Structure formats: structure tokens, C-alpha cells
Structure 1
């Protein structure tokens, strides 16, 4: 099943290279991807999909398309186009860092180190966190850290490994620690965001941006935690991160409905009109594949996690993929971007497509993506 799904996905990716040209897919509306000129937080996922396809197949067409995206990210860095946010890791881990991992291209390595420095500039000494969005005095977003940032920290851990500069590691570890303290609740659910006083650094409280309510559990936020804390463990060996990932994974899996694919928020009222978020489930599947590598063979949760991971992946392929839709631009249906904001609440999400492809390739060939070397 995995090979068939991968082959189908790769055909769609190749067709999309012609459709998209030098633009980048974001989310879809009525089945068609909205495209932008490399100015959104999601653009690295398309680059990452191209590198995955090249690694899997050796087909030069994917390599050439992937290289062109990296050149676009180089221009984005040179012109500083919309880099005032924390998603620098999503952008450059899956583009220039991917090229470094695959090809050992020194120019790509240097570009990725530049990106790490851009992310470091978002560190707020007062409060000890990486600010998610906007400038320090942003009236709406100042003082805000979010759980998504855990998937941007591999960029800093990698920069430490490349340079030996401990500043990168210190900031990444501190952000992971603050995320454990302020974003993960006592019942192993999570806040999407947490807010600090910008002048004093005083912690003010948890909130949401895209979830149902401030006290709800946004499914994709929980998914970022599952994968992000596992990656923090891989880089540091700190078992607190591994334990946190396991607890968040158990919570996520316990909330799943009968088809093993998440609703968009675990606290939202459930009826026939409630949106799913297939992207959250495929992030968790990819995270569980990583998590299982680090769990002891005698861990009582191991078998259950593995079984539920396979059940979710099987459901994603059979019930949510576009395998039977040859003209579809996306790989995975029923993703949710921003339900409360009514932005693409039930369509293709490029990050959902990326993690779906990463998970499939990890399961079939052990190709692990580009969060670490």
C-alpha cells in the first residue's frame, strides 16, 4: 500500500512542477492550490516534497525543480522577504538544509546558517522565548510563543552541530523547556500559544490563535508537540522531552474517532459538519515513526503506538488521499488551516501533503526527511 501511495504521489508532484512553475503552493480553495511568490510560512514544504521525491527516485527532474526552489529561498533571504516570524525552520530546513543533506552543497549550508541567525534574532531575553510573529513591540503578537516553534528548533540544533557555537543550542533548549512548562497542560493536552508581558517577561497565560477556544486542544498544535519534542530528544538526549512526546502522543491517539483521523480541535462540538484535520494526523504519524525509534523495546506503550500509527496511516491512504483522483493537485483531502477564520477549513494543505509523503517514505525506505542528518 505504501509503495502504491508513494508512486501516485510522485506523479502528482511531477505534474505540479509544471502547474506551479516558479510559484509555491499554500492551501487550496475548491481543490486548486493557491500559489504565492515565496512569501508565506509554508513554502518550504513544497521544496521538501521535491527533495523527498528525488531521494526516493533519483529522477533528475525532481532534483532540478528542488534546486530552483533553493535559489528562490536564497533570493528571499537576500531581499529579506517576509522573514519576521519564527517559521524560518520550516522554510530553510526543508529547502537549503535538505540540499545540504542530500548533496553536501556548501552554498546551501551557508544559506541555512544564515537562516539560523535570522531565527536567533527572534529570541526575547525577557521571558526567555522565541517570539512567534511580528516585531518585538507588535501590539497584537508581541510577547507570544507558540507550539509550532518546536518544529523550527531543529534548525538551531543543526546550526550548533555545524558550527560548535553553543548559543544556538542554548536558545533551542530554552525554547523547548519553556514550551514544556507553559504550552503543555497537566492532562497532556496543549495550548496553541502562550503570552508574556513584553516589558517584564512575566508569564500571562495560555491562549489560542487557531483553536476552538483558549482552553481547547487544537489538533495540529498537539501534533507539533508530538513530533517536536521527539526531535528535541534526538538532538539532546534529554528524556524529559521523550516523555513529553509520549504523553502528548497518548493524548492525541485517545481522542481519535473511529477512522483514526483527527477532528480539527479535540474540544470542538462533534457533529456531521465538524471539520477534520488530516494534516494533524499525518504530522503525528511522522512523529510516531520517529518516536518509536527512541522507545525501549520493553516500553508498554510501544506496541499500542505502533498499531495506532499504522491504523492512522492506513486510513489516511484509503479514506483521505487522492489516489483515485488522477487530476488532483493535492495528496491529502480534508485538511484544516484556520477553521474559526474560515480560511481553507476543508481542503489540501501543503504541509499535510509534505508530512504524508515523509511518513510514507520513512515507512517504505527509511527516508527520514530533513529535520536532522
Structure 2
């Protein structure tokens, strides 16, 4: 009995040391992020209507206008940094940068309104409870809904898509990324009471599950529909290695999107899909030991022919995509809470990715990299741009993952005290 008693005490003490080490890990990374982003703000605040995205060839901050799909990530990063540090000056910057996007509430030119408005205004409402944000988000959801068609059952991503061989043009393409915009619709139904937004989100998710997710848990990047009949015309890629390969960031969007859809609906099909897609990522033979994926899971494998329009290097597997890994880490750190008995495996993998991203290999040196937190992301190998650079959305999901891990540690600590 004495032996068992001391074993239990030893385990409890060891667990406490591990939690303390991980709390220090989080504190160090939030402190680093605050220093980096404050440096970025000094440069970004020189521009009134432009938003950080990456760096140029000289290592200087590169910005885009608010109509780019990435505009909401910098305000969102500020909100996540505020959540992790409780720094009031960061909160004020987050408010001011979010306010710059207000006019996007009526934007309808592409599907990325969820990224643009929910990552910014959604986090603003979540962290402040300010009621002024609710109608703006509801209006954004209404704008996004204009891109939904009853005939196709999905939200159109782009207005036009030309196939890689140049033989076909499609006017109703849907990319896997679009799963991420559904959270805005779920939110809108909750705050307005109008069920139409949630109905659109569910119908879209159902058709992505049916037409875009493969039997092995991987996914196609693009599915093109006939706008008149809803028939699937083609399944292709734009940023992946080949039409039949698995573009890594697309896989990450799928894991995250179906995890979120399960959280909002409790539909077991979405949980099963999220887990199957997560298993594909975690267990893939081409995944490096640090679990930071290459830009495509099938690049340079026999049986996968890259597009004739691809400008990919001869050895594209040399490039990791930190943005895909950061999105996946964040998704896994939510999925682990929802997945029951399999949750421990997803938690372990999410923490592993988070630690890898925080290492010297992927984390910027202080005061460098244009103020971005992470290195070695990929925008589009196929188009030959944003290759092996920092990207604002990699930082956004990295910060989200840090906050989600913080919440897990706090919950674990509360449970151990009991």
C-alpha cells in the first residue's frame, strides 16, 4: 500500500511539472509573439487601408488591400494575442484594425467573407461581447449566402475556373477552403434566430462530404458543378501537385471545417469525417517525424502527374507548408476534446505540431521576418508565388492553437485539483 501511495504521489508531482513546463512554453511563445507583432505594427500602422500578408524578396513587410481573402487574419491575430496576453494595448490595436473591415459586410465577390469577417469581427465579439459587432456579422452572413444555390447545394467559391489543361471553363467551382466560411453562417443563425444560415451551412457541408472527400479521408481541392443541374463536372486542383493528389493545406481546411461543423451541429457524420481526415494527415507515410507536412502529400510520388501548367520545382517535396501544419494543429486541439476515446491521439499530435512550429526550425528569430511569427509556409507552388515565406494565416492559426492548448491545460489542471 505504501508503494502504491508513493507511485500515485509521484505521478501527480510529475504531471504537475509537465503542466508547469507547458505553461512556460505557452508564456514564452505569447511573449515572443507580442514582441514580434508590436514590431510589425510599427510598420503596418503607416498604411491606413492595407493589411499584412507576407514579406517581399528583400524581407520587407508586404501588404494587401481589404478585398484580399487574407485581410481578416491580421486583426484576428491581434485578438488571439490579446486573448493570450491580456495586453490592453494589443486589444486597442485589434479593435482599430477590425474596424477597418466594416464595409466588407456587404461584399459578395468571392466566398472568403468568413475568413475576412469572422476571423476579425467574430473574435472581437467573442472576446468583448460588444453588441455592435453582431449585426455586422449577420449582414456578412447574408452577403455570403448570396453565393449559395439550391440547384448545386453549395456556396460558389470563385466566379470562374479554367481547367489546368485549358480545355474547359467552369462557372461554379467549389474549393475545400470554403468549409472554413461556414462558421460565420452557424453564428448568424444563433444571433438572429433565422435558420436559413445554418441550413445553408449544413447543405454545403453535406455536399462537400459527398463530392469532395475521398474514401481514404483525403480530399480534392476543387469540385466544379453544373450551375443548372447541380451535376459534378470535374474534380481538380489549383494549388496541389495533381488532380488526384492531396494538397496539404486543403486537407487542413477539411479537418478544421468538419471539426467545427460537428461542434455546431453534433452530426456524427461530420465527426467521423473530421477524424478520418485527421487520421490521413497523422498517419501518412510521407509525413515527417516532426509532423510538419510537405506542401502536398503526394508530390514526386509515382502515379501522380503534376499539371501541365505547374511551375513547381523539380524537387517540390523540399518545401514544407507551415501554414497547413498550423491549421491542423489548431483543428486537432479542438478535435481532441470532441473525439472521445481517440481524443488522446489527436491531442498528442496537435501538441507535437505546436512544439515543432515553436522550434528554431520554424519560428522566426526575434526582430526578423517582417514581424511574422513563423517561417517556411507556401502560398502556391503551382503558381510560383509565396514559396518558403511567412504567411499571415499561418500566424493566425498558430496563435489560435496556442490559445486552445492553454484552455486544455487549464481544464486538465482543474480536473487534477478535484
Normalising by structure 2, what TM-score?
0.82
Q: Deviations over 1:151-199 (max 9, x none)?
A: 1101000101111111111100001101111110011111011011122
Report Cα offsets for 1:117-147 as digits up to 9, x if no partner: 01000001221110001279xx955211111
- 2:293 aligned with 1:262, yes or no? yes
Separation (CA, whole Å) in 1 of partners of 2:358 and 2:201: 34
TM-aligned CA distance change 1:202 to 1:367, over 3 Å: farther
The one of 74, 80, 100 equivalent to 2:102 is 74
- Following TM superposition, by how much is the alpha carbon of 1:226 offset from its aligned partner in structure 2, in angstroms? 0.6
2:258 corresponds to: 229
Match of 1:316 in 2: 357
Residue 32 (1) aligns with residue 76 (2): no
In the TM superposition, what are the counterparts of 1:234-245 in structure 2 within 5 Å? 234-245=263-274
- Correspondences of 1:128-143 after superposition (within 5 Å): 128-134=153-159, 140=169, 142-143=171-172
- Given candidates 267, 271, 285, the residue that maps to 2:329 is 285
Q: Secondary structure at the match of 1:194?
A: strand
* TM-superposed deviation, 1:258: 2.2
Which residue is equivalent to 2:27? 3
**2:175 is the alignment partner of 1:149:** no
Does the aligned pair in 2 maintain the 1:84–1:135 contact within 8 Å? no
Quote the Cα distance in structure 2 between the aligned partners of 1:43 and 1:223: 20
- CA distance change for structure 1 residues 178 and 33 in 2, over 3 Å: closer, same or farther? farther
What number of residue pairs does the alignment pair up? 361
Cα distance between partner residues in 1 of 2:101 and 2:376: 29
Distance 2:407 2:218 in 1: 32
RMSD: 2.2
Select between 275-284 and 102-111 the one with higher mean Cα deviation.
102-111
Equivalent in 47, 61, 65 of residue 93 of structure 2:
65
- Which structure would you say has the larger RCO, counting Cα contacts within 8 Å and 6 or more residues apart? 1
Contact 2:225 2:232 survives alignment (8 Å): yes
- In the alignment, what sits opposite 2:238? 209
Q: Which moved more, 1:58-67 or 1:338-347?
A: 58-67
Quote the Cα distance in structure 2 between the aligned partners of 1:216 and 1:273.
Answer: 13
Equivalent in the alignment of 2:125:
100
The answer on 1:327 being equivalent to 2:368 is yes
User: Structure 1 residues 187-196 or 28-37, which shifts more?
Assistant: 28-37
Q: Structure 1 residues 367 and 55, CA, compared in 2 at 3 Å: closer, same or farther?
A: farther
Residue 274 of structure 1 is aligned with which of 318, 323, 335?
318
**Stretch deviating more after TM superposition (23-32 or 144-153):** 23-32
Measured after TM superposition, the shift of residue 323 of structure 1 is 4.7
CA contact 2:75–2:94 (8 Å) conserved in 1: yes
Secondary structure of the equivalent of 2:233? strand
Contact 1:277 1:335 (8 Å CA) reproduced: yes
Question: Aligned to 2:63, what secondary structure does the other structure show?
Answer: strand
Report the Cα distance in structure 2 between the residues aligned to 1:363 and 1:162, rounded to whole angstroms.
Answer: 27
C-alpha contact 2:299 2:317 (8 A) present in aligned 1 = no
Q: Radius of gyration: which is bigger?
A: 2
Does the 8 Å contact 2:172/2:227 carry over to 1? yes
Matches within 5 A, 1:7-26: 7-21=31-45, 22=48, 23-26=50-53
Secondary structure at 1:346's aligned position in 2? strand
- Residue segments in structure 2 that go unaligned for 5+ positions in a row: 1-24, 162-167, 302-314, 411-418
> 1:371 maps to what in 2?
none
The C-alpha deviation readout for 1:212-260, integer Å capped at 9, x for no partner, is 1111100000001111101000000001100100000000112211221
> Residue 291 of structure 2: SS of its match in structure 1?
coil
Q: Which runs of 5+ in 1 are unaligned?
A: 369-373
